[in-house]
Structure 1
Amino acid sequence: MSRTIKIGNKIVGENHPAYLIAEMSANHLQDYDRAKKIIFEAKNAGADAIKLQSYRPDTITIDCYGDNFMATKGSIWEGKNLYQLYQSAYMPWEWHEGLFEYAHDIGIEIFSSPFDLSAVDLLESLNVSAYKIASYEILDIPLIKKCARTGKPIILSTGIATLTDVERAIDVCKAEGNKNIAVLKCVSQYPTQYCNLNLRTIPHMADTFDCVVGLSDHSMGDAVDVAAVSLGANIIEKHLTISRSDGGADSIFSMEPKEFSKMVTDVRNVEQALGKISYELTDVQKRSRKNARSLYVVEHVRKGEVFTPHNLKSIRPGGGIETWYYDEILGKKASIDITRGTAMKWEYVDK
């Protein structure tokens, strides 16, 4: 496997800037112009890519009111059956071509999560650059196989996956000759509580699967995303909307444009701060070092007088003998008269 993949014209992975994905999901509210605006805001905020979701209600579930087909109790969608939920959230397929063209025109990468085999056909017709396998689809082996066969990067979200599930999905991709794989730490809880995130899993995933790793995040704010990058996340995916107050299936845990832009800035700042392993002093540190403590004569000393803790001290600034010679000088005699406030030098010590 590889610790890098290529999405569009960008290398993603180890020793490269984190790849920041704005997830549109259902935040288009089935308004084409709003979908375009979200793409624009993603680009304006500094996202590397905008991601869509490609499904229709009848390709993801059936219209049924049995207990198994009702949204999870306690979730933000409680009371709806799955068909109703997806009917209110899906993106009309006829929008895809226009949105892909618009994204390319303004210079932001665009790809999608297919939720069935026909969605892969649609996305292939648009020459999609990568495939994101959503958390609940990581168990859909026929879907993963078809995506993997395209040879394009496969980004696996692990929101409901066990370690065995992740290994199976990766093995399926490899069996199809596709090693361009990324695995995202994820928790399918909306919004996700911080105590459930377990971000320390991210570097473990990188070592275990020897691949690009990242975070698909549904928590509030950007602290988690910045922390994930500091732990080695190569990809960050975050939901984006115009305004949470506009509503929608995913609005409550989505970022607004200014928040997304702040996340981008925070992540890029942290990437600079992480830097490299180094004990060398920067030019700034070298200049600052001149203000560190050194040995100074703090009382007038006559020639032949003994240096004592009373007349010789370690104080700021630098310029004198280093402080670690303090004990060596105490008890010795001055070779000349020395004025108070003089930086100590070896020539002032009577040999």
Structure 2
Amino acid sequence: MKEIKIDGRAIGPAHKPYIIAELSANHNGSIEKAFETIEMAKKAGADAIKLQTYTPDTMTINCDKEDFQVKGGLWDGYKLYDLYKWAHTPFEWHKAMFEKAREIGITVFSTPFDESAVDLLEELDAPAYKIASFELTDLPLIKRVAQTGKPMIMSTGMANYQEISEAVTTARENGCDELVVLHCISGYPSPVEQANLATIPKIENDFNCIAGLSDHTLGTVVSVASIAMGASLIEKHVTMSRAEKGPDSEFSLEPQELATLCRETEAAWLSIGKAGYERKPVEEASMKFRRSIYFVRSIKAGDAISKSDIRRVRPGYGLPPKYFDELIGKRVNKDVDFGDATSWELIENDN
């Protein structure tokens, strides 16, 4: 699989990286903040803004038992239901958010967390779907999404080979012909030393798909580095300001950082090129500063060249240094001066 298309934009190794700005819960319950973030993502150069489509009731149940309590990490102390109640994007906002994104010219789609979310997103004609890491093992959901026939993006946080394989197989057997699989570490934030970007080309090879990265590390370094490992798509959480303390703000990029990500991932992609030893156009002007062999003493026609008559120096208009020993003892066929470049035209023919 060389490329797929989302909303007309080609994605794959032959195209600049596709950047998804993940809004997630960083609207902090304000649709105006959501609109502002969509506009920011467009201005920063992202290709798409991505939502998350769920309610607390489609995500979990309102239960106080210990199983439903978050212990440790960014959301320590929350009951799952309360966390998702705080973080969700209301279903009734979606139409306006889709319209806003389309109005300003940025692709918009979402991560559905159950079939009712897929139904809503189909009504809004979402151009693609994202499967979250935590839902990668929800094969019935993957089946429903695949049956839309839309491009799918899957994150693989926490998943082993078998789980990824089952998800990919389910998607393909149910109508998904355009698939991107994202390497992902489900830590919030994830330590740089656990990013394990070497997995990206393995994903591409093992599952015959376009590979990318869903990045939860702080900053942009890991995302930029992933391009050299073959990532064709980068997903990163974004926020207008980490100081606003939204559910995901701690590991989200602020506007200037998102702009840097878009700029530097494209530069990293451009820098890869293709393997080979061909001289690049920019190097042509430097050729004259290579070393070559010059006369450092004036000698007369018919004189034999001695070791003290020539040197290997810059610039590069004379014979290459590899001929230095071969020139010793050769006779010149005309007078030469100090600073003349050597050439075979100055050397008497032995024959």
Q: Is contact 1:3–1:210 with CA below 8 Å preserved after alignment?
A: no
Is residue 2:13 matched to residue 1:18?
no
- Which letter maps to 1:121? D
2:327 and 2:185 map into 1 onto residues whose CA distance is 63
2:31 and 2:348 map into 1 onto residues whose CA distance is 87
1:315 and 1:52 map into 2 onto residues whose CA distance is 63
Q: Is contact 1:49–1:110 with CA below 8 Å preserved after alignment?
A: yes
Of the candidates 259, 264, 267, which is equivalent to residue 265 of structure 2? 267
Is residue 2:101 matched to residue 1:103?
yes
Question: What is aligned with 1:334?
Answer: 332
Matched position secondary structure for 2:307: coil
1:270 and 1:170 map into 2 onto residues whose CA distance is 28
Question: What is aligned with 2:70?
Answer: 71
Question: What is aligned with 2:201?
Answer: 203
Question: What is aligned with 1:125?
Answer: 123
Matched position secondary structure for 2:260: helix
- For 1:129-278, what aligned pairs fall within 5 Å after superposition? 129-278=127-276
Instruction: State the shift of 1:14 in Å.
Output: 3.1
- Number of residues paired by the alignment? 349
1:56 and 1:196 map into 2 onto residues whose CA distance is 31
Instruction: State the shift of 1:239 in Å.
Output: 0.5
Instruction: State the shift of 1:301 in Å.
Output: 2.5
Instruction: State the shift of 1:304 in Å.
Output: 4.2
Matched position secondary structure for 1:343: coil
Matched position secondary structure for 2:108: strand
2:266 and 2:348 map into 1 onto residues whose CA distance is 56
Instruction: State the shift of 1:340 in Å.
Output: 1.0
Instruction: State the shift of 1:300 in Å.
Output: 2.5
TM-score in terms of structure 1 length:
0.96
Is residue 2:42 matched to residue 1:46?
no
Instruction: State the shift of 1:110 in Å.
Output: 0.3
Matched position secondary structure for 2:167: helix
Matched position secondary structure for 1:279: coil
- For 1:299-338, what aligned pairs fall within 5 Å after superposition? 299-338=297-336
What RMSD in Å do the two structures reach over aligned CA positions?
1.4
CA deviation string 1:190-218 (max 9, x = no partner): 11111211111111111111111100000
Please say which of residues 295-304 and 164-173 is displaced more in the overlay: 295-304
1:318 and 1:14 map into 2 onto residues whose CA distance is 39
1:90 and 1:104 map into 2 onto residues whose CA distance is 22
1:14 and 1:321 map into 2 onto residues whose CA distance is 42
Q: Is contact 2:214–2:236 with CA below 8 Å preserved after alignment?
A: yes
Q: Is contact 2:148–2:175 with CA below 8 Å preserved after alignment?
A: no
TM-score in terms of structure 2 length:
0.96
Instruction: State the shift of 1:68 in Å.
Output: 1.4
1:4 and 1:321 map into 2 onto residues whose CA distance is 48
Please say which of residues 104-113 and 304-313 is displaced more in the overlay: 304-313
